[in-house]
Amino acid sequence: MRDIVRLDMATGQVTREPLPEKWARYGGRALTSAIVFSEVPADTDPLGPGNKLVFAPGLLAGTPAPNGGRLSVGAKSPLTGGIKESNSGGQAANALAKLGIAALIVEGKPADPGARWALVLEADGSIRLERADEWAGLENYALADAVKATRPADDRYATITNGPAGEMLMKSAGIAVSDPHGYPNRFAGRGGLGAVMGSKGLKAIIVSDKGLKMVESADKQAMMAAVRTFANALTTHAVSGTALPTYGTNVLANIINEAGGYPTRNFSEGRFEGVEGISGETMREITVQRGGNVKHGCHTGCVIQCSRYYMDKDGHYKTKGPEYESVWSLGADCGIGDMDAVAELDRKCGEVGIDTIEAGVMLGVYMDSGEIAFGDARAALDALDQIGRGTELGRILGDGAEATGIAFGVKNIPVVKHQGLPAYDPRPIQGIGVTYATSTMGADHTAGYTITSNVLAVGGTVDPFGTEGQAALSQGLQIATAMLDTLGFCIFVAFPVLDIPEAFGAIPEMVAAHTGQASDVDALMDLGKETLTYERLFNERAGFTPADDRLPKFFYEEPLSPHGAVFSVSDADLDSVHAFVPETAQRLGIA
């Protein structure tokens, strides 16, 4: 039995109800987006009582499915003004799934805006909402320690926490999820969902799964057979089996820099001369020298193990990773080529509770204004500290790249649907530009990761400089990614899935074995289409038009060195990406 748990912050009441049959095939992103589409008015204030914050483990969370334990967090975004699903690793998804919770919905607002609350879900199924005013203003790591002090020494639990930026309703605020060692270093970072959590007065969610077994599958034997096939593909593919566990996600730094698509100094150049200082190879060397953890999973059940712990010069834990996007945004985009400086900035983002991508893009824009200099890591750290303290400047910076660019008169602001672009310039990598422009989430690399075929030659090749086939590539990947997010899979399973037929075939086999319902590739892709359809229709109701599915003008007009490329995919091609939506909406009865 999979249930929905509702928490009404206006009354403090917690209720539990069965998951509606119409959503029985859904988990993760499909479920968060279906709930937001169905229950949140598209014109509601994202920080008002009409918005709802939804936490949903993937459909296969809590099972032996490799890399299948990710969490989707959904709401109307304060940053984009549209629908948002932000995806996180960490332990919470598996814990919620073991408790039989398909979705946790937080709705309403408390009468006292100064109150702080903690929701505690115990392994015995009991749920309580507790006043937690003493935790007000705590940064995420201090909050993790405070939570630990309230739990039994032998407990096993996960946390979902909100830092000061979220409490202050800043639009770049994310939500922290604890990793297998209890560090609050996995983030549902994008779209300002920490501000939504803050508007609800919710400081922490604590989920205990002590003594609970994995979620049972309808056909255990078939499930384990498919799991073995899938795990073998993940551990033998060159990217997911060797490159990622050896160098982490930051293995891409030198690769994308060489391709000329590594955005540098607010997207003004495609190569960063200081890349070696912040590359995956350098990060691994430093981590090994300092005794850091160089390979582990961000959640139980991960077999890729691309996570690692970065240590300071004294050998003490500093932060996770940092991940490729974080290293780029806080490094090259700011002209900073020192790994220790990047790690310090990453830690500050984690403490304050802000999205590292949005933070780095914001800093790049802020530096472009001339207020602080490119390469000045100390000034960058001070800017992040201002966010944490909620100063007048900090509140501007904490609302993200676009707010900062407008406030300081910057010409080139790299955002789509008000959200900062991630770590790939769309001019020499045209496919990712299509994804940035057309994603329902605003600029988001994970929504349709065309780097696979544009750069890495995974799943075939599409010329990164050409326009031919880019829209179709992005469309297919956006549909497939929405499906993977629905099942709870890490995006990195896409590498073997695109190259190894047995890997793709194992996914419907796992779904069928787990649910007891027949599944095939077409049914899975329908899941992706349905998810995107809920999202697209919500955004249309919120006032989005085809004009919002475009990149900023400077990407079309200003050639990027070293290749001199501009973005040139036609508007007609961009408008074709969601051509399946009307038919899917009609089939769902939501047209």
**What's the whole-model pTM score?**
0.98
Q: Does position 86 have pLDDT exceeding 90, yes or no?
A: yes
Sheet strand arrangement including 127-131: 127-131, 117-121, 202-208, 157-162, 175-177, 186-188
Listed residues 421, 444, 467: the one ending a domain: 421
- Give the residue from 376, 402, 421 where a domain finishes: 421
Residues 263 and 325 in one domain: yes
Instruction: Render 291-308 in DSSP notation, one character per residue.
Output: T---SB-SSTT-SS--B-
Task: Classify residue 286: in a domain, yes or no.
Answer: yes
Tell me, what's the pLDDT at 144?
98
Residues 263 and 346 in one domain: yes
Residues 32 and 171 grouped into a single domain: yes
For residue 408, the SS3 value is coil
Looking at the structure, tell me whether residues 127 and 16 fall in a common domain.
yes
Residue 514 lies in a domain: no
In a domain, 512, yes or no: no
The reply to whether 181 and 291 lie within a common domain is: no
CATH number of residue 581's parent domain: 1.10.599.10
336 and 375 Cβ atoms separated by less than 8 Å? yes
**What is the per-residue pLDDT for 294?**
82
Does 151 share its domain with 55? yes
- Give 361-412 pLDDT, tens digit per residue: 999 999 999 999 999 999 999 999 999 999 999 999 999 999 999 999 999 9
In the predicted structure, residue 482 carries a pLDDT above the cut 90: yes
Looking at the structure of the chain, the number of domains it has is 3
DSSP reduced 3-state for 310: strand
Instruction: Indicate whether 302 and 364 sit together in one domain.
Output: yes
* Range of the structural domain that residue 169 is part of: 3-208
Q: Domain check: are 350 and 316 in the same one?
A: yes
**Average pLDDT score over residue span 331-354:** 98
Look at residues 372, 390, 421 and tell me which one is the last residue of a structural domain: 421
Measure the CA–CA gap between 468 and 196, rounded to whole angstroms: 40
Tell me: do 308 and 431 sit in the same domain.
no
The DSSP string of 409-460 is T-S---EETTEE--SS-TTTSHHHHHHHHH-TTSS-GGGS-THHHHTS--SS
Domain CATH number, residue 179: 3.60.9.10
Half-sphere exposure for 406 (CA within 13 Å, toward CB): 8
Residues 431 and 408 in one domain: no
Residues 466/430, Cβ–Cβ less than 8 Å? yes
Residue 78 lies in a domain: yes
pLDDT value for 292: 87
Whether the pLDDT of residue 334 is over 90: the answer is: yes
In this predicted model, what pLDDT tens digit does every residue of 241-289 receive, in sequence order?
A: 999 999 999 999 999 999 999 999 999 999 999 999 999 999 999 999 9
Give the phi and the psi of residue 40 in degrees, each rounded to 5: -110, 120
Place of tokens 């935790």: 135
Any idea what the CATH number is for the domain that residue 333 is in? 1.10.569.10
Q: What is the mean pLDDT of residues 433-441?
A: 98
Task: State whether 260 and 296 are in the same domain.
Answer: yes
For residue 13, being part of any structural domain is answered with yes
- pLDDT, position 167: 98
User: Are 536 and 578 within 8 A, CB to CB?
Assistant: yes
Q: pLDDT-based confidence at 310, cuts 50/70/90? A: very high
What pLDDT sits at residue 293? 83
Do 193 and 276 fall into the same domain? no
